[in-house]
Structure 1
Amino acid sequence: MEAVLSIKNLTKNFGRIKAVNNLSLEVKPGQVFGMLGPNGSGKTTTLGMLMGVVNPTGGEFTWFGEEPTHHVRKKIGAVLEHPIFYPYLSGQKNLELNAMIKQCPEANIPKVLELVELLDRKDDKYKTYSLGMKQRLAIASALLNDPTVLILDEPTNGLDPMGIAEIRELIKKIAANGKTIILASHLLDEVQKVCTHFAVLKKGNLVHYGPVDEVGKGEETVEVLAEVENLNELLLSFAGTSSINRENGSYQVAMRDGFHSKDLNKFLFEKGVVASHLITRKKTLEKQFIEILASS
């Protein structure tokens, strides 16, 4: 499957500062690809280069196997910073202006307004919109020319919990319609909930790259409590135990590959022990993210 985006050794220096350092990665069709990293990691600079608003110092990238010409960029919609809309115009009128600038049919406006759930507010002035509505209008504007790829830079930044949830659901809906999405975020939760693949950047360097569903693979931990004196010895004698930690009165049993909580529960039951508490805990993206940044 040909990559939607292919980046090879992309570099950007600002004086002696390496904002992006030899970045190489690929984004395939249909992926929701998250660029994850703390502030100053090079995410926004990378997106700026991909959209032609920042000139690279070195390296190269292609969209759909082609050089990033104006024709190719027309297949890409982006919300890079706070978009500029006229506050005294309605959402509808603002989109009409954007459609004229982008040279795309006004017939697309009702479709994108419906997608972002602003059809019933289309005639209200932009200045009356909440922050979440403004962000959704920006996404509607980016979708006006029916792009193949949508780029979002920190799409939930500054939003309240309701606004964050709405943008997450919108991203999932857009992805379900077959579009490839690339988003930059410093929010681990956001990436874990909406992305299929992710890359972690640290001070301009790529330190991790892969599918989100591989996070925590083989890292199952079972939290166990039982009213029995020799629980520690019992857990150590279980063939699936890799290691044990005692935390807050319960035992945290790290499982070997191929073993699961049901195996441990069955083992204890056969030894005449009924666990009063037995919960499986997978490694979260947050834990993996912290480990990745600490080890790089």
Structure 2
Amino acid sequence: METVLAINNLGKNFGRIQAVNNISLQVKAGQVFGMLGPNGSGKTTTLGMLMGVVNPTAGSFSWFGQPPTDHMRRRIGAVLEHPIFYPYLSGRKNLELNAMIKQCPVANIDNVLALVELTERQHDAYKTYSLGMKQRLAIASALLNDPDVLILDEPTNGLDPMGIAGIRELIIRIAAGGKTIILASHLLDEVQRVCTHFAILKKGTLIHHGPVHDVGKGTETVEVKANAPDLSHVLLAFPGTSSVNRENGSFQVQLREQYKAADLNRFLFEKDIVASHLVTRQKSLEQQFLEILAES
């Protein structure tokens, strides 16, 4: 798989403040790569360096195996700040101006309007658009030159639940079209829903990165209910039990590595106990995120 972006020991200082500290990672073609971190973690500064609007203090990066150049950046579309459009012009007229600035074919406008589902509102003034529609128009503008990579900085920031869902579905559609997407977000649930890979930044330092599908792997937590006396003692007697906690009328059993829910169910059956409820609880990205931050 082609390496789209390679970052090597990238750093940025603002005076005595070290905003980004020695980051190294790679993004492969076709990935939806999420950059996670609390406010001040260096996400936006990192994206700014990648787009050439912030000069690095140290390190380097390359796009498609080549040093960053203006020609190379034409293969990249980005929405880094709040979108700026002329409020009294229609969405289509604003895109026509952006197409002229970017020297893109005007014929691309119909395609991007359809992709972001703004065809029916294309002739309405930008000032009449909702926040979600304005964000979708900004994404349409970033896609005008049919880039290979789309960079989004907090794409759902400030949106209501319907707007968030709309942007989430749009990102999935764009990725399905074969584009590589890099996005910064603090909404962990959204990253888990749309991203294939993620990285966690803390105070400018990369503390974790990997595939989203690896989240929750390892030890299992099983939620158990059964009509049996001393159920907690039986659960503790299971060789694969690491810990048992009671929550909301059920028992949360943390299993040791190599043990699965089926092993616990078999053990209970051998003890003449039939579980009325036995569900494996997968660790969420939020849980893993908080654990990684606490450990770092």
TM score, norm. by length of structure 2: 0.97
The match for 1:190 is: 190
The match for 1:202 is: 202
Q: CA RMSD in A?
A: 1.2
The match for 1:71 is: 71
SS state at 1:288 partner:
helix
Aligned residues of 1:9 and 1:23 also touching (Cα < 8 A): yes
The 4+ residue runs of structure 1 with deviation greater than 4 A are none
Q: Distance in 1 between matches of 2:57 and 2:95?
A: 35
Q: Per-residue deviation at 1:67? A: 0.6
SS state at 1:106 partner:
coil
Q: Per-residue deviation at 1:243? A: 2.5
Q: 1:191-230 maps to which residues of 2 (within 5 A)?
A: 191-230=191-230
Q: 1:9-158 maps to which residues of 2 (within 5 A)?
A: 9-158=9-158
Sequence identity (%): 77
Gaps of 5+ in 2: none
SS state at 1:13 partner:
strand
Q: Distance in 2 between matches of 1:163 and 1:178?
A: 23
SS state at 2:236 partner:
helix
| Alignment deviations for residues 78-132 of structure 1 (CA, whole Å, 9 cap, x no partner) | 0001111111111111100000000010000000000000011111111110000
TM score, norm. by length of structure 1: 0.97
What amino acid is aligned across from residue 210 of structure 1 in structure 2? G
What amino acid is aligned across from residue 124 of structure 1 in structure 2? D
| Alignment deviations for residues 128-165 of structure 1 (CA, whole Å, 9 cap, x no partner) | 10000000000000000000000000000000000000
Q: Distance in 2 between matches of 1:216 and 1:41?
A: 24
| Deviates further, 53-62 or 243-252 | 243-252
Q: Distance in 1 between matches of 2:249 and 2:122?
A: 56
The match for 1:294 is: 294
The match for 2:242 is: 242
SS state at 1:265 partner:
helix
Aligned residues of 1:113 and 1:140 also touching (Cα < 8 A): yes
Gaps of 5+ in 1: none
Equivalenced residues, count: 296
Q: Distance in 2 between matches of 1:247 and 1:92?
A: 54
Aligned residues of 1:42 and 1:202 also touching (Cα < 8 A): yes
| Alignment deviations for residues 173-201 of structure 1 (CA, whole Å, 9 cap, x no partner) | 00000000000001111111111100000
Q: Distance in 1 between matches of 2:239 and 2:168?
A: 41
The match for 2:231 is: 231
What amino acid is aligned across from residue 184 of structure 1 in structure 2? A
Q: Per-residue deviation at 1:262? A: 3.1
Q: Per-residue deviation at 1:227? A: 1.8
